[in-house]
Structure 1
Amino acid sequence: MNIGEKVLSKLKEEIPEIEYNRYIKQLSFDEKKSSSDNAIYYAPNTLIANYIKTKFSEKISHLFEVYSSNKVNVVITLKSKADVSVKAAKNVVDKEKIKHSLLNPSHTFDNFVVGGSNQFAYAAAKSVSEKPGDIYNPLFIYGGVGIGKTHLMQAVGNVLQNQGKNVIYTSVEQFLNDFLRHLRNGNMDRFKDKYRNCDVLLIDDIQFLSNKDSLQEEFFHTFEALKNDKKQIIITSDKHPKQIGGLEERLKSRFEWGLIADIQPPELETKINIIKKKCEINRIKLNNDVINYIATIIENNAREIEGILSKLHAYAKLMNIDINIEFAKNVLKEQQRENRANITIDLIMDIVAKELNVKPSEIKSKSRSRNIVYARRIAIYLCRDLTTNSMPQLAQYFGMKDHTAISHTMKKINELIKNDEDFRTKIEELNNKIKSTS
């Protein structure tokens, strides 16, 4: 696999599968015509070429730099126009000195949407960008996939790099590859100089240091050197240091020297604001109904939003129609089906029972107690809305006569949602909590 194919393979992990299959998979890399300055890809038609150029060229360029250490100009063109495109790209490269950095320039504080789920981590990162190496060193940010850890870390890096500081961003995987390459070539001094003489070290996915004894040893000494020189260290992980298995205790203790900040999955309001921000950045016009709908169907991973918006925008452009709620639901029905497949009735019952202080067995009982009926209605509605179970299946689960009983209950619930604001709010809260847990 050549570097161009490797980059697209990595991009596949970062974007929705449907986007990859529809657009990126159709690219072919020209290894012969590509150079250290230009990466040449061919698309089957102008529409796909322009779409990929607009949406993904910056990401592809970033991944080239990660894997080759070269900042390249990504050319997406048709085969017949390749020579013209390369010549135009070369003129750009000649005129502008490209800044070498593995930082994504779009990861800034201005582009980061702050909410209750990430407010503390945002404030900590902002403080570090103002006083690097002085407070919160190291800054350790942890949380699930796609909820903003890397964005915040690189936002700090972009601020400090613009101030002229030597910023290194790397993942543990790249740190390991770099370590092994220098070890094989017998020039470990160069490796040490690179990482121990920077002003800021940003390292992603530290959990992958687990059970890598030699790499942990090297990272420990790198950490010590930077900390002693009051150089800033920012680390991300999917879990708290104490929960990372296969990690030396001395490393765990050092990760706790500074500040540990967690990021939780975004709540509904934050999701809505993220969608609005993405629409603003990508110049996509959506009304509030569509924005609210998208916010309810995405799960923990806010990274899904960009893929959803790209999909809607592409469909609307190809079909030459405006995006309304009916159009959005039709285009995104597969996305909703996949999300619903991950949610079970038992999961819903456990969350509803816990939140409403009743037992799952009581919800399934024949009790007509007011609080039990309230919980049962909510559980039935959420099971119907969030799972793939049919009405007969739900009737059997809840011990009802047949599907008509479920249908009658759903009508009653829809009336309550329409007329009872408190009931509607509780439904929305539980809906969001279930999606965040699944």
Structure 2
Amino acid sequence: MSEAWAQISDILAKTTGPGTYKVWIKPLEAEQSPGGLTVLAPNSFVASWVKDRLADDIADAAAQVLGSRPSIEIKVRRREKRVKTTVIEQPLLQTASVQAPTPAFAMAGAPSAPNSAPQYSAPAREHEGPVSAQRIITQNIPEAFTELAQRGQQAQQRRARLASPAQQPQHVAPQHMQQMGLPNLTPAAPKTFDYHNWRFCFDDFVVGPCNRLAFAAASGMCNNQLMTNQLFLNSAPGLGKTHLLQAIGAQIATTSNRSNVRVGYATAEEFTRQLILAIRAKEVERFKAQYRENLDVLLLEDVHFLQGRQVAQDEMLATLIALENRGCKIVMSSSFLPRELKDIDGHLTSRLNAGFLATIDTPDFDTRRRIVTSKASLHQVVLPGEVSEYLADNLRDDVRQIESCIKNLVLKARLLGENITMDLAADILQNYTTSNNVSHFSLQKIVRFICESFDLTYEQLSSKTRKRSVVMARNTAFFLARRYTDLGLKQIGSQFNRRHSTVLKGITNVEREISLQTPLGRQLDTVVERIKTF
């Protein structure tokens, strides 16, 4: 059947066009069924789209290959079963006197607890799927059994000692603490780092007119010159918000006059997920203490994720108030200003506006050229002047894109054993969105691209329908318009008969799917990348 489907795919590539084929036909597989053909899609979104628009085309193409027109059934492809992994669990029961559970995060630069109690070892067993942080994946099976036997002997010796009444502990652990080998359902705390683990610092941040204010504000948070304990950073994706947040964490962790300064780092999505886990595990009070009482500095990214999540907003508001009352430092970032956020509690919006607001703009040519030079130096490479200027002139809107381009340029030159030249740079640059591409991305062109990619009309795109395929197409149009035009949210929404709060929500949903690399996210990422060649 694989050969027949390959022939059917070739026919569909010619009849549907290269864009539709690459996005919708290529990810499909097929298997023959009695009297028909079963087409397997990677996810339900693709399956629904293909069933509505391409089922007849597939049947016609199959008729040319199979000799008769088969019935077409479109299903979602089953995922492969996960391979079993032998694991050794580290149990939850402690043999010494019962102590309060240790927080899931450690203080930056703080030493580990000196008198941690010994633990029983649970037997090895088979598990499927992801393994928790309390389990050790066994790579060498013979060594695992040897270690397991040794631990078994030690456990027997401990049980023999405990059998003596004189040595029995006076306090017995509660029943729920005596469960051995159970998964740890305690929600994770905000990530806290020793200063060696921060990825960015102020020294490698390239300062220019576009980001000088944000850089000064971030530096001021570390040396107490900002005259406020709260900072809100705003910029389009890829312009340095994460770099500055991590630089603040690294600077405070290394220069604070406190040896045990506690710096918490999380995204708003992680905050929300941890809160949900805490509610399910009935550990809400512990979660509150982790954020409100056990932190000196909170670094929170992507605040716009809280839109429409009322419970998370209430908890975040209470957390900000508690940290402010304790005199803690708070740094937040978002792709949108607080006034642009919708479905946000008014009190929380007021809190977000309470500190210093700093916006990072698109870098100018000189700043981009210095960024290119700086990023190349990280790979121990000095780019020719004409190559640096060429890249700086064509990559204007996203520093992450500059980083990726330089990494690929250096890697290709080393793999081929060639010098970095203008021809090599031009070849690499074809894979990226350049200024020449962006200058032609009007909203009208984006709408035409979306209509062609999703096989819709403009009337359908701007209609009131809530059909999933149309909503995702509309959200993708919002995302591209925000990225490649200078239009505001209200102007974008007016083109589709939508309020700007709907535009904002749609952009956030697309960003989330792409960043998480879900099946739908990968599909949308493919569509977004295709606009470069449209």
Task: Tell me the TM-score normalised to structure 1 length.
Answer: 0.56
2:370 to 249, 252, 273: 273
Instruction: Output the amino acid matched with 1:135.
Output: M
- How far apart in 1 are the matches of 2:283 and 2:230? 28
Q: Match for residue 137 of structure 1?
A: 229
Q: Note the 1:8-407 alignment, pairs <5 A.
A: 32=85, 101=193, 105-131=198-224, 135-162=227-254, 163=256, 164-197=260-293, 198-335=295-432, 340-344=436-440
What per-residue deviation string (whole Å, max 9, x for no partner) do you get for residues 290-343 of structure 1? 11111112131111111111111111111101101122112323325x664443
1:254–1:280: structure 2 CA closer, same or farther, 3 Å change rule?
A: same
1:345–1:331: structure 2 CA closer, same or farther, 3 Å change rule?
A: closer
- How far apart in 1 are the matches of 2:343 and 2:396? 30
- How far apart in 1 are the matches of 2:399 and 2:327? 34
Instruction: Output the amino acid matched with 2:217.
Output: A
Instruction: Output the amino acid matched with 2:237.
Output: V
Asked if the contact 1:71–1:101 (Cα under 8 Å) also holds between the matched residues in 2, the reply is: no
Bigger share in helix: 1
Asked if the contact 1:137–1:257 (Cα under 8 Å) also holds between the matched residues in 2, the reply is: no
Asked if the contact 1:102–1:168 (Cα under 8 Å) also holds between the matched residues in 2, the reply is: no
Shift of 1:70: 6.2
1:199–1:245: structure 2 CA closer, same or farther, 3 Å change rule?
A: same
1:100–1:216: structure 2 CA closer, same or farther, 3 Å change rule?
A: closer
SS of match in other structure, 1:117: coil
- How far apart in 1 are the matches of 2:300 and 2:383? 36
SS of match in other structure, 1:233: strand
1:280–1:341: structure 2 CA closer, same or farther, 3 Å change rule?
A: closer
- How far apart in 1 are the matches of 2:131 and 2:212? 35
1:33–1:323: structure 2 CA closer, same or farther, 3 Å change rule?
A: farther
- How far apart in 2 are the matches of 1:272 and 1:34? 50
Instruction: Output the amino acid matched with 1:233.
Output: I
Instruction: Output the amino acid matched with 1:300.
Output: D
SS of match in other structure, 2:203: coil
SS of match in other structure, 2:222: helix
Quote the sequence identity (%).
29
SS of match in other structure, 1:107: coil
Tell me which structure has the larger Cα radius of gyration: 2
- How far apart in 1 are the matches of 2:250 and 2:131? 20
- How far apart in 1 are the matches of 2:347 and 2:296? 23
- How far apart in 2 are the matches of 1:71 and 1:290? 49
1:177–1:35: structure 2 CA closer, same or farther, 3 Å change rule?
A: farther
Shift of 1:211: 1.1
Shift of 1:126: 0.2
Q: Match for residue 78 of structure 2?
A: none
SS of match in other structure, 1:307: helix
Instruction: Output the amino acid matched with 1:160.
Output: I
Shift of 1:69: 9.8
Shift of 1:30: 9.4
Instruction: Output the amino acid matched with 2:400.
Output: R
Asked if the contact 2:372–2:402 (Cα under 8 Å) also holds between the matched residues in 1, the reply is: yes
Q: Alpha carbon RMSD of aligned pairs, Å? A: 3.5
What per-residue deviation string (whole Å, max 9, x for no partner) do you get for residues 218-237 of structure 1? 01000000001110000101
Shift of 1:106: 2.6
Shift of 1:144: 0.4
SS of match in other structure, 1:142: strand
- How far apart in 1 are the matches of 2:235 and 2:132? 28
- How far apart in 2 are the matches of 1:345 and 1:275? 25
Q: Match for residue 494 of structure 2?
A: none
1:161–1:68: structure 2 CA closer, same or farther, 3 Å change rule?
A: farther
1:153–1:69: structure 2 CA closer, same or farther, 3 Å change rule?
A: farther
SS of match in other structure, 2:403: helix
Shift of 1:136: 2.5
Shift of 1:143: 0.8
1:323–1:138: structure 2 CA closer, same or farther, 3 Å change rule?
A: same
Structure 1 residues not aligned, in runs of 5+: 1-28, 37-66, 73-81, 84-98, 348-438
Shift of 1:105: 1.9
User: When the two structures are aligned, how many residues end up with a matched partner?
Assistant: 269
Instruction: Output the amino acid matched with 2:212.
Output: Q
Shift of 1:201: 0.5
Asked if the contact 1:102–1:170 (Cα under 8 Å) also holds between the matched residues in 2, the reply is: no
Asked if the contact 2:405–2:428 (Cα under 8 Å) also holds between the matched residues in 1, the reply is: no
What per-residue deviation string (whole Å, max 9, x for no partner) do you get for residues 264-285 of structure 1? 0111111111111111222122
Q: Match for residue 524 of structure 2?
A: none
What per-residue deviation string (whole Å, max 9, x for no partner) do you get for residues 88-142 of structure 1? xxxxxxxxxxx9629862310001110000000000000001129x722210010
SS of match in other structure, 2:213: helix
Instruction: Output the amino acid matched with 1:231.
Output: C
User: Which portions of structure 1, spanning 4 or more consecutive aligned residues, are displaced by more than 6 angstroms?
Assistant: 33-36, 67-72
Q: Match for residue 54 of structure 2?
A: none
Q: Note the 1:421-436 alignment, pairs <5 A.
A: none
Instruction: Output the amino acid matched with 1:174.
Output: E
SS of match in other structure, 1:260: strand
Structure 2 residues not aligned, in runs of 5+: 1-81, 90-129, 141-190, 444-534
What per-residue deviation string (whole Å, max 9, x for no partner) do you get for residues 59-87 of structure 1? xxxxxxxx999699xxxxxxxxx87xxxx
Shift of 1:196: 0.6
- How far apart in 1 are the matches of 2:405 and 2:392? 10
Shift of 1:185: 0.3
- How far apart in 2 are the matches of 1:71 and 1:155? 30
Task: Tell me the TM-score normalised to structure 2 length.
Answer: 0.46
SS of match in other structure, 2:399: coil
1:227–1:35: structure 2 CA closer, same or farther, 3 Å change rule?
A: farther
1:35–1:343: structure 2 CA closer, same or farther, 3 Å change rule?
A: farther
